[in-house]
Amino acid sequence: IQPKDLNLARWGEALYEKMGLGIAAENTQIDCEVGDIGYWIHGDAIVIFFGKTPRSQNDNPVAASAVNIFAKIEGDSSVFKQFKSFSGSLKAGD
């Protein structure tokens, strides 16, 4: 797996980046949980939910539109609250 440079933008308490994957909708949802990691269909982006979003009615994140949730952060995802944006590299472990 090749390293991927990330430049994540923030939307409420979610970080996202357009990925150009073109993945089809599958088991989509809008209501999410803190710690969910999903693929935002209409934005063609990966999203990390760590708290309220502008669409939230309570403490749970609500996506802008349909997402495929494919992973969950184990532990405290509030560490992401310190970032207004995030730049870094993602690479496979040794």
Residue-wise pLDDT for 29-85, tens only, equals 999 999 999 999 999 999 999 999 999 999 999 999 999 999 999 999 988 888 888
Domains of the chain (ranges, CATH numbers): 4-81 (2.40.100.20)
Give the predicted TM-score (pTM) of the model.
0.86
pLDDT at 92: 58
pLDDT of residue 21: 86
Look at the block and give the residue holding tokens 């995030």. Answer: 86
Q: Smallest Cα–Cα separation from 75: which of 29, 14, 34, 15?
A: 34
Given this model, what pLDDT does residue 78 score? Answer: 87
Q: In the prediction, which pLDDT does 84 show? A: 84
